[in-house]
Structure 1
Amino acid sequence: MLKSNAWEYEQEWRMCAVLPDADTTINFTAAPAVHLFKFPADAIEEIIVGVNADSSLTESIKNIIDRTEFSHVKVKQASVSEKEFTLCFIDL
């Protein structure tokens, strides 16, 4: 999978795997299965919570970060700028 060079500033890396190699698979009756894969904790540096995310989701993310091997991960909340056509990011 490739991304346009226009997104190069994000300095993002992608990890790909085949579904049969999933460490855990969660099957649902009315939705496609979810395939979960283990990955190195240091692969994540930052989580940006979306503008419309519910506060309970934000709290859940912060709780997981605080009590796991992901305590080094920065958590930020996205918000819409009141002055410009852009997003702002607030450290949580």
Structure 2
Amino acid sequence: MTFVSSPLPEAERAIAGDALRATLVDLLDLSLVVKQAQWNLYGPRFRSVHLQLDEVVTTARDYAGMVAERAAALGVSPDGRAATVAATGQAENRG
């Protein structure tokens, strides 16, 4: 297994890592929320709104991938597991 050493000093890496992890969770959560909204669409403009929401989901997932890759490049382990997204979202809703 290869470990990536960060080009940043530890304090800056921690700050960047926290920001990247939070952004990753937000993007994954957004993609899931939009999918939920999409599944509950109906009405005369269903098709056009459905396609627009597909674009939002794709964009959010693409950016989530970029954020995770940047985190890994800094030596920060990205965590996009469903349990992490759910726990982080619940903590934000409480606080």
TM-score (norm 1): 0.32
Which structure dedicates a bigger proportion of its chain to helix?
A: 2
* Bigger share in strand: 1
| Higher relative contact order, structure no. (Cα contacts within 8 Å, ≥ 6 residues apart) | 2
Give the alignment's TM-score, normalised by structure 2: 0.31
